[in-house]
Amino acid sequence: MFTETWRRRWGLRQAPFAHEDADHDPLLDRVDSWAVHPSYERLVDLNGGPSSAVIFGERGSGKSALRRSVAKGLKADGKSLTVEVTDVDPWLEIFKLQAGQSKQRANGFARLDRADLIDLMLSAATMRLGESLKAEPSRLKKLSSSQRAELCLLVAAYHANFEGDREEQVSHLLSASRPWWKSVGRAIFAVLGAAGCLVPLVQLGGRVSIEPSATLPVALVGAGMLGLMAAHSLWRTLMARRAMGRIAAEMRITAPDRRLMRRALTVLPRGSAPVLTQGEETREEGRYRLLQGLIQLVRDMGWSGLELLVDRIDESTLLQARVDCMGSFIDPVLEHKLLQLDGLGLKLFLPVELTPLVRGAGPERLRRMRLDKATLVDELRWSGQELLELADRRLVAASNGPATCLGELLGEDLDLVEMKDALHTLGTPRLAFAFLRDLFEDHARELPDDLHRDSDGWRVSRGAFERQRAASSDRARTLRRMMRQTSVMRGTVES
């Protein structure tokens, strides 16, 4: 019997356990967000402002599913601007190119510092903000002209052109940021200057009678007006090039478009430039100021703050799932000032191999991180009962009619307690879903096509369950042993 025939017998329109990758799981959107993991309510405080959290979990433990559910809950609430970062490779590629690092270097990202990581946050946030403003342009009207100018400069500097829409967004913000009366004033000034320069020609043509004594002064005034405009434009261009060069030289993980930045610095009011150039501060202090400035702009546009969700760093092709590389990437972010920054909710979904960053931290590092003030989930753990309930909810989401629970799919000789024990042994949603998928598929293959609808043969027998349980347990042990060996081979995080 085909598996599809077996599913139709139980009213399942989709395979409930076929998708191991949460980001490509169509059923996840139909499962209640809070039902994904007990820690969900700790991560989404809809009654307060953005809050930071650090979550550790092994592969397949549900980090990405939890991230998607948290993002879904935050977006449904609509209070904060939610940004998801699930692929850091584009920024790391820029860092490698600008640093001139060779691929053979053991840890090419050891030179990453906190300013670089804040640059990455600014880049991801400006890209997401641009998408949101395109969908809700009315929010931009809540900003003053000077605030729109600051936002335009931030987008020109930090918007990564991964999807080719940076110039469009910068042009849109420029048109919205420049006061109309200034454009009209410049046009009138230019027309008057040109008219003054044309006075001698008009008099020679005899069309307009002008006193000869006034001709030269009027022409000189017109020429002076045009010269003043040209000198002002040249001065603004030179200052813009200087500021742009200084800004771009400090950016190692983003690639600003120099032409767009120069255009923005040239066109926008001079008073808006200090958002990127002011002060004799350190590079890190400047990045904190820019991040706080962006958060304030986000708040002024009607959001409560910025929620930044970072996930899947262990799937980065450049970090190569190496503990030392991932540690170099994450360690600068684990800092109290950043995790507790007002208006920023930084949520890090990290592989369990990085737990030594916390568990093995010395007193000085613990004081710097102060994770006691942030939500900490030191490991995503699952009981057999939780995995059983999660399986039932996925069956409900996949049902095409009356809901089916896992107990209904088991034969009379198979106790639900034994299923719960098997799921507990596997320990993670990914392994549990793979076990249930293989169990039902193998069971369906052994059934005849003419099986009567009311036959007990539709339900999984003890023999099929025991065979699949043994095979899945062996696979789980082998997988975990390989992961531990790989982690040891690739090094450990220095405490």
pLDDT given at position 195: 73
What mean pLDDT is predicted for residues 389-404? 86
Do 166 and 57 belong to one domain? yes
Return the CA Rg of the chain.
Answer: 31
* 272 pLDDT more than 60: no
Bridge partners of residue 309, in order along the sequence: 84, 347
pLDDT given at position 275: 60
Nearest partner of 89 among 325, 294, 355, 348, judged by Cα = 325
Residue of higher predicted confidence among 462 and 181: 462
Residue of higher predicted confidence among 344 and 272: 344
Do 301 and 328 belong to one domain? yes
> Among residues 342, 377, 412, which one ends one of the domains?
377
pLDDT given at position 439: 93
What mean pLDDT is predicted for residues 156-181? 70
Do 422 and 337 belong to one domain? no
pLDDT given at position 83: 95
pLDDT given at position 282: 81
The overall average pLDDT reported for the chain is 82
**Has residue 410 been placed in a domain?**
yes
Do 303 and 438 belong to one domain? no
Do 356 and 445 belong to one domain? no
* % the chain with pLDDT above 90: 29
Weakest-pLDDT range from 24-38, 179-193, 324-338, 450-464: 179-193
pLDDT given at position 224: 79
What mean pLDDT is predicted for residues 243-251? 71
pLDDT given at position 492: 44
Per the structure, the count of domains in the chain is 2
**Has residue 191 been placed in a domain?**
no
Residue of higher predicted confidence among 342 and 216: 342
pLDDT given at position 271: 57
> Among residues 346, 377, 408, which one ends one of the domains?
377
pLDDT grade for 185, boundaries at 50, 70 and 90: low
Do 7 and 150 belong to one domain? no
pLDDT grade for 379, boundaries at 50, 70 and 90: confident
**CA-to-CA separations, 153 to 74, 166, 274, in angstroms, rounded:** 28, 12, 10
Q: Residue 430 is part of which domain span?
A: 3-11+384-489
Do 323 and 342 belong to one domain? yes
Tens digit of each residue's pLDDT (9 = 90 or more) over 401-444: 776 889 999 988 888 999 999 999 998 999 999 999 999 999 99
pLDDT grade for 459, boundaries at 50, 70 and 90: very high
Do 350 and 289 belong to one domain? yes
Do 85 and 158 belong to one domain? yes
Instruction: Name the burial class of residue 450, with classes exposed (0-12), middle (13-18) and buried (19+) by CB atoms within 10 angstroms of its CB.
Output: exposed
* 260 pLDDT more than 70: yes
* Cα distance between residue 130 and residue 119, in whole Å: 16
pLDDT given at position 206: 54
**Has residue 448 been placed in a domain?**
yes
**Has residue 18 been placed in a domain?**
no
Nearest partner of 305 among 313, 290, 295, 315, judged by Cα = 295
pLDDT grade for 214, boundaries at 50, 70 and 90: low
pLDDT grade for 203, boundaries at 50, 70 and 90: low
pLDDT given at position 104: 44
* 295 pLDDT more than 90: yes
Choose the most confident range, by mean pLDDT, from 151-155, 232-236, 491-495. 151-155
pLDDT grade for 495, boundaries at 50, 70 and 90: very low
Do 321 and 406 belong to one domain? no
H/E segment holding residue 351 = strand 344-351
Do 366 and 397 belong to one domain? no
> Among residues 361, 377, 393, which one ends one of the domains?
377
* Cα distance between residue 166 and residue 264, in whole Å: 13
pLDDT grade for 483, boundaries at 50, 70 and 90: low
**Has residue 311 been placed in a domain?**
yes
* Cα distance between residue 173 and residue 412, in whole Å: 66
**Has residue 91 been placed in a domain?**
yes
Do 346 and 412 belong to one domain? no
pLDDT grade for 207, boundaries at 50, 70 and 90: low
List CB contacts of 378: < 8 A, sequence separation 6 or more. 56, 355, 358, 359
Q: Are 435 and 423 in contact (CB under 8 A)?
A: yes
pLDDT given at position 109: 85
pLDDT given at position 321: 84
Tens digit of each residue's pLDDT (9 = 90 or more) over 38-97: 888 888 876 667 889 999 998 888 899 999 999 988 888 888 999 999 999 999 999 988
What mean pLDDT is predicted for residues 105-118? 82
The full DSSP string for 233-261 is HHHHHHHHHHHHHHHHHT-SS----HHHH
Angle (deg, nearest 10), helices 145-158 and 258-267: 170
What mean pLDDT is predicted for residues 303-329? 91
